[in-house]
Amino acid sequence: MILFRTLERRIAVVFVGLLVVVMLLMLLIVARSGEAIIATESERQLSAGARNVGNLIDRDRRQLELAASVLSGDFSFREAIATQDRATVLSVLRNHGSRIGARVMMVLSLRGEVIVDTQRPGKPPRPFPFGDLLRAAENNGRSGDVALMEDGLLYEIVVVPILAPMRTAWVVMGFPVEDAWASEFARGSGLDVSVVATGGIRASSLSPTLRGALERQQSTALSEQPRQLTLEGRNYHAVALPFGPQARVLLLHSLEHSEAVFRELEHALEIVAGAGIALFVIGSFGLARRIAGPVNALARAAQRIEAGDYSQAVAVTAPDEIGQLAAGFENMRSGIASREHKIMRLAYEDTLTGLPNRTRLTEHLAGLDPEAAAMVAVLDLDRFAPINDALGHPVGDRVLQQVGTRLADLMPPRGKLARLWGDEFAFVIEDADELSARDFAAQLLAALREPIELDGQKLDVSGSLGIAFRPGDGRDMDALLRRAELAMYSAKRRQCGYALAGEVGDGPPPEQLSMIGEMRQALDRREFVLYYQPKLAFASNRIVGAEALLRWQHPERGLVPPGLFIPFAEQTGFIREITPWLLGEVAAQATAWRERGISVVLSANLSARDLLNPKLVTLMRELLAAHELPPAALCLEITESALMEDPTLALSHLAELAAIGLKLSIDDYGAGQASLSYVKSLPVHELKIDQSFIGSLATSPKDAAIVRSTITLGHALGLTVVAEGIEGEADLHWLAAAGCDIGQGYFIARPMAAAAFADWLSVREGVPAV
């Protein structure tokens, strides 16, 4: 019900409803008792009036009888009657009748014959039609009653004797019962008097209209028990009195007067009730409003809080229960507000720098017009890991904070900066084209090169920037960030400061994207396996080591060649997930073989990312400790290009790895631009000549010369020189003759699964070396 939807209405409706019910009951009771009182009073008045009328009629009849008796006692009257002279008698009757208002005058013989009749003069004698009346007169001396006479009219008839002095005749006198008669009794009794005889109203004090109405209802009205009837819309109480054998007197008492009194009372009560209800409506709504108002205010506050608006404080108005509730609400609101603020900060803010995080940046970009041009840039600090490692994380954190502040100061008004993770920042600038992007990138990198002062110490910081444009390089944040990140890596590799995504290509094609998923599955399903390719020491003709090579045993595609997925894994960074697994496997394998007396140094390949990963050193330490391996049992092979990505950081990491005692090897030497002076500075133990040189030893004297001088140079630097890709016996002999320390290649052995390797080794070790 709408009526009860609000507390205010519910309170008011209940109060007012109760009052209305009470008032209605009161009015009902008053109306009921009023009706009862009216009925009782009216009946009382009616019965009193009826007694009165009965008495009046009796008295009237006695008076008529008396008058008749007086008349009949008149001497001259008696004398005239005694003379039996009909003409005289007739005129005497008429004369004397008129004296007392009798319309009918008759003389009866003692035998009951009408001798003279003023209404029918000259008619022969006939029997008197009212024998009962005559007999009553004979018994009582005289009689009187009401009867219809031959003229159809109702008469009060009186029969009295003519005494001379004994009874000699009877005189009958008739007095018409007419409206005047009824009106006289009505005046005397205060009731309306009507006389009904043989189905018609003979006389009445009523107006013609009411008389007509009564005529129609006389059957109900003619009861000797009082009853109520309505004439022309007015209420009456009616009672009938017997009036002679043929007639009845019908008495009506109008309820109008009594009803009017009660109607006035009822009106007064209705006014009082109406006024009371009106006052109550105002009062209850006022009260309800005072109760419900604060509650409604609380409800609105709750709705605001529900809608996420915590800004408006809940007003505490009164010290009552609702006030307490409001205070509770206010505490709740401020609690929720501060918690939500905290959550928002956690969700959208980088706690270290106070900058927005990646999520916030993504939302910011999503909130921009998707068609509008924007640039998304990713900035990665160069050589941050060594700072972190050398100076500790607190310093690293402060560096990041300062960089963040510096970048934030550089942001144009329509730019948004965020810290993605680690030392990687990103920002979005609206309406940026390539030109302005280049300008801004240059400006930013220049600003970044300003040394950072920490506790009086100056630190050089630089970064690499990758820039992608919307919509040219993608529309959503993920795509744009990836493109920008790829560009950033490219810039870092090339040490050119910044790169645009459009210049470095699209990154991996879609089938490669699906490959990332497959690789992740492969890792989980242990589809990756390690094959081991033996390393032969020329001097001793013994297998001194083995290189662990990653193979992918795909359930559908079979063995996936490493060249098909490893570069991709390196490019996408997935290698970061594979390497820890690979290192763990290698360490476990080394341990297993050592326990079986197979003591070969196992080499694992590290990508640039692996090498730059600040956690690598820790990981290696943990692995050695976990397997209780001597560090020299493992060798990490790093390509020349991986070193060149971030030479400084690479050097720092290599130094640490070397400090642990691990063997380090420069892989694919000669393919990159690494200078010997740079190699000289590296704490490595081994130099692996790129296999492209080995494959063409027999055909290219230049390559053979390079190999020969590399071996010489390596030895000069105190490094073990390894040749890989040895596919023929001639090459093997050539290399052994050239002083190369270790060889590796198909001619010696293909890479083998661990078990096969162990078998192969046990067979070979029994065979004398070449």
Partner 1 sequence: MADRAGHQTGRLTLRLILTALVLALACAADAASVTVRVRTPAGTTVEDAAVVLDPASGVPPKSRRSATIEQRGRDFVPYLSIVQKGTAIDFPNRDPFKHHVYSFSPAKVFEIKLYAGKPANPVVFDQTGVVALGCNIHDWMEAYVLVVDTPWFAKTGADGVVRIDRVPAGAYRLRLWHPRQKAAVADIGIELRGATRHLDLVLDVAPRIIVAKPPLDAGGY
Nearer to partner 1, 50 or 169 (CB): 169
Q: How far is the CB of 127 from partner 1 (least distance, A)?
A: 21
Long-range contacts of 336-343 (CB under 8 A, 24+ apart): 336/305, 336/310, 337/310, 337/311, 340/308, 340/310
Number of residues this chain uses to bind partner 1 (CB under 8 A): 10
Q: How far is the CB of 144 from partner 1 (least distance, A)?
A: 20
Nearer to partner 1, 58 or 79 (CB): 79
Place of tokens 């939302």: 363
Q: Can you say how many angstroms the Cα of residue 48 is from the centroid of all Cα atoms in its chain? A: 77
Cβ neighbours of residue 635 closer than 8 Å, sequence gap 6 or more: 545, 601, 602, 603, 604, 662, 663, 664, 665, 685, 686
> Does 79 help bind partner 1 (rule: CB under 8 A)?
yes
> Does 435 help bind partner 1 (rule: CB under 8 A)?
no
Q: How far is the CB of 79 from partner 1 (least distance, A)?
A: 7
> Does 78 help bind partner 1 (rule: CB under 8 A)?
yes
Nearer to partner 1, 68 or 499 (CB): 68
> Does 460 help bind partner 1 (rule: CB under 8 A)?
no
Nearest to 437 by CA among 503, 367, 359: 503
Place of tokens 């960030």: 481
Instruction: Rule CB under 8 A: choose which of 1, 122, 152, 166 binds partner 1.
Output: 166
> Does 73 help bind partner 1 (rule: CB under 8 A)?
yes
CA dihedral sign of residues 553, 554, 557, 560: negative
> Does 82 help bind partner 1 (rule: CB under 8 A)?
yes
Q: What DSSP designation does 723 have? A: E
Residue 484 CA to residue 428 CA, distance in Å, equals 11
> Does 434 help bind partner 1 (rule: CB under 8 A)?
no
Q: How far is the CB of 51 from partner 1 (least distance, A)?
A: 30
Q: What DSSP designation does 157 have? A: E
Q: How far is the CB of 166 from partner 1 (least distance, A)?
A: 5
> Does 445 help bind partner 1 (rule: CB under 8 A)?
no
> Does 142 help bind partner 1 (rule: CB under 8 A)?
no
Nearer to partner 1, 134 or 432 (CB): 134
Instruction: Rule CB under 8 A: choose which of 164, 241, 281, 325 binds partner 1.
Output: 164
Q: Indicate the helix (H) or strand (E) that contains 542.
A: strand 542-554
> Does 70 help bind partner 1 (rule: CB under 8 A)?
no
> Does 136 help bind partner 1 (rule: CB under 8 A)?
no
Select from 11-19, 162-170, 247-255, 637-645 the region that touches partner 1 (CB under 8 A): 162-170
Q: How far is the CB of 176 from partner 1 (least distance, A)?
A: 29
Output the furthest CA–CA distance in the chain (Å, rounded).
206
Residue 685 CA to residue 616 CA, distance in Å, equals 19
Cβ neighbours of residue 695 closer than 8 Å, sequence gap 6 or more: 725, 727
Q: Indicate the helix (H) or strand (E) that contains 489.
A: helix 477-494
Nearer to partner 1, 116 or 666 (CB): 116
Residue 194 CA to residue 191 CA, distance in Å, equals 10
> Does 163 help bind partner 1 (rule: CB under 8 A)?
yes
Name residues contacting partner 1, limited to 180-209 (CB under 8 A).
none
Nearest to 548 by CA among 564, 563, 529: 529
> Does 139 help bind partner 1 (rule: CB under 8 A)?
no
Secondary structure (3-state) at 689? strand
Nearer to partner 1, 69 or 639 (CB): 69
Q: How far is the CB of 165 from partner 1 (least distance, A)?
A: 3
Residue 615 CA to residue 48 CA, distance in Å, equals 124
Nearer to partner 1, 48 or 82 (CB): 82
Instruction: Rule CB under 8 A: choose which of 168, 223, 401, 641 binds partner 1.
Output: 168
Q: Where does this chain bind partner 1 (CB under 8 A)?
A: 73, 75, 78-79, 82, 163-166, 168
